[in-house]
Amino acid sequence: SEIADTVQASLDDLRRISRELRPEALDDLGLVNALIALCSRIGQQSGLRVGRDFEPQLPALASDIELVIYRVAQEALTNVLRHAHASHVDVSLRRTEGRVVLIVRDDGRGLPETLSATSGVAGMRERAMLIGAELDIESHPDAGVEVRLAVPVAEDRA
């Protein structure tokens, strides 16, 4: 009985780790719907108003690119919850001039200087670099933070 409980706990941990590596929502729902679910969950858990603006017809993206976009949005929203003292955050994902651009913008107090060197921000930068994307983080004291991830995409040729 004890061994069975240990094995079950290990399987549960393995499933959790697997979900954290690549959220099931990305495979089951696609990027836009996974972001909608993420925004809804953040809003419900925190009471934060989360605005969404997602272009419905994004170009097909490789799974590693989708994962980076999702993880950057997730980390940016987590930072808003932990540090911004914001009442509202907007999340958008649109195609613009050969790029897919994710923007997470809050109305909080701005980015503390100590946060710019944390592992979360460093992780976002590393993820962006791995897919050849640009990550910009602009902080405005008492006026919020904007995280902007611009991912180059191939232009459609008709």
Res. 68: pLDDT tops 70:
yes
Please tell me the pTM assigned to this model.
Answer: 0.82
Task: Report the pLDDT value the prediction gives residue 26, as an integer from 0 to 100.
Answer: 82
Identity (one letter) of the amino acid at 84?
Answer: A
Could you read off the pLDDT of 109-122 as tens digits, one per residue? 887 766 556 668 88
Nearest alpha carbon to residue 133 among 121, 114, 149, 117: 149
Task: Report the pLDDT value the prediction gives residue 157, as an integer from 0 to 100.
Answer: 47
Could you read off the pLDDT of 120-152 as tens digits, one per residue? 888 899 999 999 999 999 988 888 999 999 999
Strand order across the 49-54 sheet: 49-54, 88-96, 99-106, 144-152, 134-140
